[in-house]
Structure 1
């Protein structure tokens, strides 16, 4: 399979003529060739998006909305095909991928119905004036996506950008490009979206991604990925004075108080760090447990996690790490944990070649005896590795939870509503989950504090982030 950029409504060969090998994370074997694009491809895509912008912007919002609703309908019609594409590239199990494709459909559905909510307001500044605001699109928006959930996160950024009247040039990871290319094809060729409204360029972040952020006609960028890459993009954007939405890393605390319902907290905490093999920015990978229940909780958690089947079989619960480089990084942290003196409760190993059929599979791993100054408690591993940290009381839990450069999410397990509200108010994180982890839907805004980024995605808030505000004042 050869994957080419989708520009101006059609697939085109990369200007460089170069391709990258895409390997199957379940077997390590090559499954595709992905175009290794460059600035010339970006120029062509941005020019197509710029040419399509005025007509798309000037459409009545409800007309744009109808098209987005049609895209949602077509995504659902193609859900098996899209799920198979995404599974082959990311390694997600086939039972898992359809849920993420459905979420992508919901983004187009949600913003397709929300297009008329982007209006401004009338401001009363006295009887001799009429003052009002308008929310208007930026123009061409660049969307740069990670490899862990390409279509889900693609829909999360693309749908509100299009709903607001922008046109889009999206760059998926070179590791996971197929599902987003298919979405663009479906939008244009099956739903009638004007050519140039949604374009997809391919290649590495260092070349294609940087060219997209630097392009003088790109007026807004949305990026999801690492802090390192986000910092580099932020420097370019600052020089160009363009707005960013950044959703970066996380080392989210999942706090279990002594009054928690362990029948819910144990499986919930297991899912918090093993979902998608831990390749989730929001993952609850620091589990803070009150001292009075620490040993009991760790014992029950280890038993629950030990039952998680890992491997390529479809009855497995956890699949592989998506890229070889990330697999090596995760495995490398096992040595880090041992050197730091953490106590391994479970895991700490990769599957053998025979068990994993040559793929990049890691056993879910739990470390206890962790202090918050250890690397395994401070650095984002982005794999199924959990650091369990004891705490004394509510104040101690808040102190440890906030002692991090990240602030993307946090979990609280307690049956005391007052405690849930108090702790939620004091945690430095963009989203808080109480008695569940990673709850919410396309309607609930998401974003980070501190090094986890800025700006918000999802919900009505995201629609506002894809518009710029104009104020008009008329003397009557």
Structure 2
């Protein structure tokens, strides 16, 4: 059984204690990973600070861009291995893991090009005063990433941070740490200097807490639950450092009577079943106009009935949840919802000998869900679609806004004016009109309103997120000669 070590200052570092890594499809231990604690985090932050002060801060954008491109090539060269590892680690279907690998490579490609376009502004506020701004890296950034998209989210946060000139300490989730460690090795092989990227797997209350409270970390990036996000933000406040927080969502689809069912239905299904619904941007609430409610629910139930469930390695439509703990969480929500709502399909464990091991849950549709129900308001993080009806656009907006989250929304209508009206009124970071993509493409800025987080990831905006603005004002001392002399 492989023992995966931490990666600190360019070296593989063992620990005295280890964390078992389970295959969600079988519940079997298939690897062990280093269990880092405060001492390892201290060593990693020290290595990152040294690398930043001695070399990385002085590299040019062109140098950093070259290394980022080489990391992208390294990810591509390891495409099959990384995808298989991601599926084994998270349980997701292998085709989704291949997509995650490709997207991870694209992040490094994108920021390699984008960083060379990063610039400040110049001003002439007075006759003898030239002022301009410089975008500078923070220094040492701490990154805490989730278990649902470990490779993709690691790349999403690391690529702009490294391209901008920061050094990084990455704490992957204990449930799915393996591709983060593989990414660290690929970055070293691509020429990233020792100490610029350090990977310290471990538990949140040990390694994570040590990283967020470390006084020599200049910026924190966290993706995960609101509860942990609050703890990260509290720790950052004590050290007066900035944060980027992506804290989940309860994203609605708003379906109007003139929607295109042929286009909408497969995307609505995919948005809640991708990675078994373990997706911050999952379209978990369906707000449908009462005139087309029954038609749409019937069609969705037909699609759900045809979904294939199984181990991620067989590339089903739906793989297992990440852990027994997560499955128990989802089943608790479903137990309560069955007493309050109308169960259309699913609602329990899939039947069959092949599902006796592993952490599977049936894809589920709940109808007649109202704001009074827990499943309407809280992020379940499983393949559960909650259906509610509305009579007017104002009702739809009120329902969409009822939760504290504001990450994404889908709008389905043939009327461009109506779509624009809704897009302007929905307090969410992303509005998808007649399409739905979990967080959109690499180039599209991604952030949340309200409880969904602070800051913007992806796109060119992320480079600003990982830099700070310095103003320089120069008195030119120009002597004004009188005319004719």
TM-score (norm 2): 0.96
Tell me how far 1:9 sits from its aligned partner.
Answer: 0.8
Listed one character per residue, the Cα deviations across residues 194-234 of structure 1 (whole Å, up to 9, x for unaligned) are 00111100101111001001111110000000000001111
Q: Does 1:342 align with 2:341?
A: yes
Q: Which residue pairs with 1:2 in the alignment?
A: 3
Q: Tell me whether 1:227 sits opposite 2:249 in the alignment.
A: no
Which secondary structure state, in structure 1, belongs to the residue aligned with residue 357 of structure 2? Answer: coil
The residue number in structure 2 matching 1:419 is 418
Q: Where does structure 2 lack aligned partners over 5 or more consecutive residues?
A: 477-485
State which drifts further: 47-56 or 66-75: 47-56
* TM alignment of 1:152-231, pairs within 5 A: 152-188=152-188, 190-231=189-230
- Whether the 8 Å CA contact 2:35–2:202 is kept in 1: the answer is yes
Q: How many residues align?
A: 472
Retained in 1: the 8 A contact 2:137–2:467?
yes
SS at structure 2 position matched to 1:95 = helix
Alignment of 1:89-100 (within 5 A): 89-100=89-100
Task: Tell me the CA shift for residue 315 of structure 1.
Answer: 4.5
Q: Deviations along 1:89-110, whole A, 9 cap, x unmatched?
A: 1011222211100000000000
User: Which residue in 2 is equivalent to 1:133?
Assistant: 133
Distance 2:70 2:382 in 1: 36
Using the alignment, how far apart are the partners of 2:115 and 2:239 within structure 1?
A: 29
Partner of 1:384: 383
- The reply to whether residue 23 of structure 1 matches residue 57 of structure 2 is no
Aligned-residue Cα RMSD (Å) equals 1.0
- 2:265 alignment partner in structure 1: 266
Q: Which residue of 2 aligns with 1:12?
A: 13
Q: Is the 8 A contact 2:94 2:315 kept in 1?
A: no
- Report matched runs for 1:15-164 at 5 Å: 17-54=16-53, 55-164=55-164
1:378-434 CA distance string (max 9 Å, x none): 010000001100000111101110111000110000011111111000001000111
Please give the secondary structure, in 2, of the residue aligned with 1:132. strand
Equivalent-residue separation in structure 1 for 2:43 and 2:156 (angstroms): 24
* Partner residue, 2:324: 324
Residue equivalent to 1:257: 256
How many angstroms does 1:355 deviate by? 3.1
Q: Kindly state the Cα deviation for residue 192 of structure 1 after the two structures are TM-superposed.
A: 1.2
The answer for the alignment partner of 1:372 in structure 2 is: 371
Deviations along 1:110-167, one digit per CA (max 9) or x if unpaired, are 0011112221110120211010000000101000000000010000000000011000
Asked if residue 448 in structure 1 is aligned to residue 448 in structure 2, the reply is yes
Per the TM alignment, residue 352 of structure 1 is displaced from its structure 2 partner at its CA by 4.1
Confirm or deny: 8 A CA contact 1:353 1:359 kept in the other structure.
no
Name the SS of the counterpart of 1:319 in structure 2.
Answer: coil
Residue of structure 1 equivalent to 2:305: 306
Which secondary structure state, in structure 1, belongs to the residue aligned with residue 297 of structure 2? helix
Aligned counterpart, 1:245: 244
Matched residue, 1:475: 475
Cα distance between partner residues in 1 of 2:244 and 2:45 = 19
How far, CA to CA, are the matches of 2:472 and 2:116 in structure 1?
20
Query: Equivalent residue of 1:176, what SS?
Result: coil
**SS of residue in 2 equivalent to 1:292:** coil
Conserved? CA contact 1:10–1:185, under 8 Å: no
Distance 2:290 2:93 in 1: 37
Contact 1:95–1:314 under 8 Å retained in 2 = no
* Structure 1 stretches lacking a partner, 5+ long: none
Change (3 A) 1:233 1:120: same
Whether the aligned pair in 2 keeps the contact of 1:9 and 1:199 (CA below 8 Å) is yes
Match of 1:6, SS state, is: strand
- Corresponding position of 2:479: none
Q: Deviations over 1:313-340 (max 9, x none)?
A: 615111010122111101111111023x
Residue 278 of structure 1 contacts residue 383 of structure 1 at CA under 8 Å; is this kept in 2?
A: yes
> 1:24 Cα deviation (Å)?
0.8
> Residues 129, 315 of structure 1: CA spacing in aligned structure 2 closer, same or farther, 3 A cutoff?
closer
> Does the CA-based 8 Å contact 2:273-2:317 persist in structure 1?
no
